[in-house]
Amino acid sequence: MSKLIIVIGTLGLFFGLDACRVNETIKNEGTSSIFWKISGPEVNGVSYLYGTIHITDGRVFEYGDTVSKAFESAEQLAVEVEMDKVNPGTVMSLMFMKDTTLDMLLTEEEYAKLEKVYEELTGASLETAKGIKLFFISANMVQAVIPKDKSVPLDLDFMQKARKEDKEVKGLETLDEQIGLIDDLSYKAQAKMLVESIDDVDELKEQMNKMVEAYLSMSSDKLLELMDDPSLPKEFMEKLLNERNKIMVERMIPEIKNKSTFVAVGAAHLFGDDGIVKMLQDRGYTVEPIHFEFKK
């Protein structure tokens, strides 16, 4: 079974968390942490880096006082995209495929298979969604199997808290940049990967639960093992992860120089030789893990 659905569930895009190819893109150095302190001679005060996950499962919100106090002490929040500032009409215009629909990309058998699983998971008809880009359909399916304990995902919750506390919110990427990554894959390739990822609904639910448990354990090894899938295009995954890391670091540095900043980005962006932690360290910043435990 392709792990596209798991990848979508952990994407750093506005509809998911993060993605990687464990064997070729990220190699963990043995430090498992999703929370880091950033300091250095050019940093205005202390800034923080926190790895998020774009789900509403209540367990990921139980990060406790250590993270809460760091968030409260920061003058501003930096996130991937300021989604609460994006016009819904803009999102809708970017979601749809051009000159094709899902039933044109799949065989009758493949479409029937996807239709059955999609409707079983979401309760909605695939007919109403067949013009939507395949990654968004995947995201809908992922969100359908995640507990709805909270009204918004974790990353958006940080954004709402920042707005409520009158903190500045800075976006490290734009929506157009993120959607552009999806458009690098042909619709046909997206359709093929999607169909290969939906063999078993129960297995999907089990894999998504394992993904959440891996996140709660803060084990990069476990997260990477779940997301490893050689069938996903290497070039696409490198753009999705490493190239975005470089862009976010470039845009993050002026912010941490200017103000104490709580940076909240998808957790897999933090790890490895091409991860944000290592990139900041290579620039001369002191980046240290902060220990905390999720409440049971």
pLDDT at 172: 96
Task: Please give the structure tokens belonging to residue 174.
Answer: 């734009």
Full-model pTM: 0.87
List the domain boundaries for the chain. Answer: 4-289
**pLDDT by position in tens, the chain (length 296):** 455 555 555 554 433 333 333 333 334 444 568 999 999 988 999 999 999 988 899 999 999 999 999 999 999 999 999 988 877 787 788 888 989 999 999 999 999 989 998 998 889 999 999 999 887 888 888 888 888 999 999 999 999 999 999 999 999 998 888 888 777 778 888 888 788 777 767 877 887 888 889 889 988 777 767 666 666 677 777 777 888 999 999 999 999 999 999 999 988 888 888 889 999 999 999 999 999 999 97
Instruction: Give alpha helix (H) positions in the chain.
Output: 4-9, 64-73, 88-95, 102-105, 108-122, 134-145, 154-164, 175-183, 187-196, 201-217, 220-227, 234-238, 244-258, 276-282
Burial label for 204, CB within 10 Å (0-12, 13-18, 19+), is buried
pLDDT (0 to 100) of residue 123:
92
State how far the Cα of 240 lies from the Cα of 131, in Å rounded to an integer: 23
Which residue in this structure is represented by tokens 């090894």? 221
pLDDT of res. 5: 58
